[in-house]
Chains A and B, each alone.
Chain A
Amino acid sequence: MKRSSDDRSFRIGTGAFAALVLLIVLGIAFELTRQSALSIAKFGLKFWTTSTWDPVSGDFGALPFIWGTLYSSILALLLATPIALGIAIFISELSPRVLRQPLAYLTELLAAIPSIVYGLWGVFVLVPIVRKLELATPAALKKIPLFNGPPLGVGMLAAALILAVMVIPFTSSVAREILKNVPSTQREAAYALGATRWEAIKVAIGFGKSGIIGAVMLGFGRALGETMAVTMVIGNSPQVSASLFKPQYTMAAVIANEFTEAADELYLHALIEIGLLLFIITVGVNLLSRMLIWSTKRRAVAPTIVTPIVAEEVAA
């Protein structure tokens, strides 16, 4: 009898700590909502659709920051996805066995470098390179809104480039795991039908498609919340523009830059409301990506269980 009561208190005792983790997440959601109440009450939905950001007169609209965050993250995704998938395919399908571990380790090192170091490198190395690129852009191209803007170096292009590098390891490591989980029967079937290596890889990618989309979204979630490196290279100027060369601003960057300067309560609440939206978006993106990855992994397990039964039937 004593033993079962001991087991129960162990279960409840450790469970209390587990519940604490749950409470932290709920606490973040609650606290962010509570601390942005003033701004939510005063501006309502207008907060998300207007562009004035005037702390002096107390008028706040977050559109430029939302635009900057989405635009920089999507650009980063466009740059990072082909490279990350290429890495995942190379390591899991093409690379010689001895190179597999070292290459996986090296690409994952990109995730270990702190954001501030990326930022430092961005300011002193990447931005001057981007500036040279911008100066070398022919005048005819500059007429296109995409390339319109002063050759400052800092701006959307630098931010997107640095974000892309930071996102690559996350997407590629998850995509690699998805590919590893694709049953080898899929590839074997393709080869048996006379497929080339690339065609067999395409079959494997097709099988893990939703998981790979999940991997890309995981990278997207990372890009949305990235703060320091972007703050240091994007130029911090709130404007809604499609230009790659113009300095812009992101949600995370405005929080980082202005939080300690927010003298009055409404200003602070407006900044925290931006944090709240960032929280909601990143949690949503992460949930969706986990569901996609999880469903693919589950599907990947199923056929290997089914196969022996089919084989027996054929034998019978």
Chain B
Amino acid sequence: MNISLPTPSNAPEGGALPLRLCVDGVSVQRAGRRIIDNIGFKLVEGEALVVTGRNGAGKSTLLRALAGLLPIGQGAIRLNSGPLEVELAQNAHYLAHADGMKLALSVEENLHFWAHYLADAPHPRSQSIPQALSLAGLTHALHAPFGALSAGQKRRAALARLLVVHRPLWLLDEPMTALDQASRIRFAQAMRAHCAEGGLIVVATHEPLGFETTRELAL
């Protein structure tokens, strides 16, 4: 049975059931070519998995498949909250090379939209937009049009999107691209805090993340 995570009204803070991501023998084909072959891992709450591999090894494909954006040929991907299976797409954040923001809107308008679109009701762990922007180091750009930001600032706004809506599973594809050193440290802190609160992270990257991940998967 697929249900959403308990809504804030019936889930006391910190009282949610432990989360577990199970990936069993997943294979993905794209354009007739098998890109991912029989990948399996389990991730329990608080764990972060780093996916490494050469270019074209299928890191992005794996993350898209985990987010439900690609159909999987074989195997199963499940997100369990305690004994119940929950809808993965509605409990996952997906951050790839594109930021998902409209250039014509301000940073605040963009984040406001995603905060309302991705969550039916505000979650107690969701941050307000100013809080999220200050964690991302972008407070000064609240009202700036997104199109006027530099590549690194856009990335920081995309990080703020992960914070304005609380979702337990983060699927990050090369999140550190274009970030400067200070921002990388901030991003690493945000990931560490997310894990400490019981979140799960799957991150594909070539670069050192700056925080001690528990698991590694080489493709």
Decide if A and B are genuine partners: no
A residues with a Cβ closer than 8 A to B are none
B residues with a Cβ closer than 8 A to A are none
